[in-house]
Amino acid sequence: MECFKRSFPKTRLRRLRYTPWVRNLHAETVLTSKDLIWPVFIRSPQGEEAITSMPGVRRFTVEEVGKAAEEAYALGIEAMALFPYTDTSLKNPEGSEAWNPDNLICQAIQAIKNACPQMGLIADVALDPYTDHGHDGLWIEGDVDNDQTLQALAKQALILARAGIDAVAPSDMMDGRVGVLRDALDQAGFEKVIILSYAAKYASSLYGPFRDAAGSGLSLGKGTKETYQMNPANRKEAMREIALDVEEGADVIIVKPGTFYLDIIHEASNIFPLPIHAYHVSGEYSMLKAASEKGYINYERALMENLLAFKRAGASVIWTYAALDAARVLAKLN
């Protein structure tokens, strides 16, 4: 610190902060709407539209989602992630609606591609939206059976690929699933389908609003996913998970949640030479909304600061339910 004391007053760092053009010119981290993925929930016409635990977020019907995609694309957002709100009558222990070629996600893929063919589409590969127990895989004798689940996930991925999906995102956290999906897709002629792996998905307390939105919370009840999602205490294990998924053929790595795991994003971006995505999860989004409604924070400013933190930590892309909000803010700034 002595060198800085000797350089004052010749060295004044505030000179690069006084005016907007100087601040903008020397910003070390840049966020654009093209850095954002918009997660969207799809419902049947009979399903509920509102999501009370996620203010400002709604469920779209298949008929509505094409227009929503056009709006997002006009704001500069070039990718959407699709999640179903499955009617309870369609759920069963096997989650077989996941490989119904006419399920909500397959219908939504076709609707969006017809309305906005340039939009990139991502779909999760996991069974929790479709199982009556709310778990991501096949529940057998008190736990999710890893190896039997892999075959079900491969069937789901192939249905999505045939429907026209651009990328699949296995969020189940089963061991070996990336390799099984890559083999299944390649053997069926879908070698161009991207695998975005939730390699470091933690057993977080921040998924509650998502489970409300997707309808899996009631099915899961008081159950937990701690036997397959990661322990929040672990950092080295995340690097092992990522390394294994890269070896098995993952094209992109996702860290979920984002804000509480900036250290994981940062370390992964320094170690692995492939894109690292941060997932700004439902609880993170809803906390911003709740604090804003109480008047504790300015929502737009806090949101943009939150998203910049992901980029600064090393994420190349951010999944956020606030993608449209952020894109509108960025449009105003430009």
Which one is catalytic: 91, 113, 201, 225? 201
Are 159 and 132 a contacting pair, CB within 8 Å?
no
Q: What is the pLDDT of residue 318?
A: 98
Are 293 and 56 a contacting pair, CB within 8 Å?
no
Q: What is the pLDDT of residue 134?
A: 87
Long-range contacts of 94-97 (CB under 8 A, 24+ apart): 94/127, 94/131, 94/138, 94/152, 95/127, 95/128, 95/129, 95/130, 95/131, 95/138, 95/152, 96/130, 97/130
Q: Give the residue among 263, 266, 298, 238 at the shortest CA–CA distance from 29.
A: 266
Q: Compute the distance between CA of residue 212 and CA of residue 209 in angstroms, rounded to an integer.
A: 5
- Phi–psi pair at 201, nearest 5 degrees: -110, 115
Are 233 and 204 a contacting pair, CB within 8 Å?
no
Pairing label, strands 59-61, 276-280:
unpaired
Residue located via tokens 């069974």: 127
Q: What is the pLDDT of residue 222?
A: 75
Residue located via tokens 């995505």: 277
Q: What is the pLDDT of residue 2?
A: 56
Q: State whether residue 63 is helix, strand or coil.
A: helix
Residues linked to residue 170 through DSSP beta bridges, in sequence order: 125
Q: How many CB atoms lie within 10 A of CB 279?
A: 29
Q: How many CB atoms lie within 10 A of CB 204?
A: 18
Q: Which helix (H) or strand (E) holds 83?
A: strand 79-84
Whether 201 is catalytic is yes
pTM of the model: 0.94
Q: List strand residue ranges (DSSP E) for 126-260, in order.
A: 139-140, 143-144, 167-170, 194-201, 252-256
Q: What is the pLDDT of residue 5?
A: 61
Q: What is the pLDDT of residue 220?
A: 79
Q: Which helix (H) or strand (E) holds 317?
A: strand 317-320
| Residue segments in the chain with a per-residue pLDDT below the cut of 50 | none
Considering only the top CATH level, what class is 35-333?
A: alpha beta
Which one is catalytic: 91, 113, 225, 256? 256
Q: What type of residue is 120? A: G
Pairing label, strands 143-144, 167-170:
unpaired
Whether 155 is catalytic is no
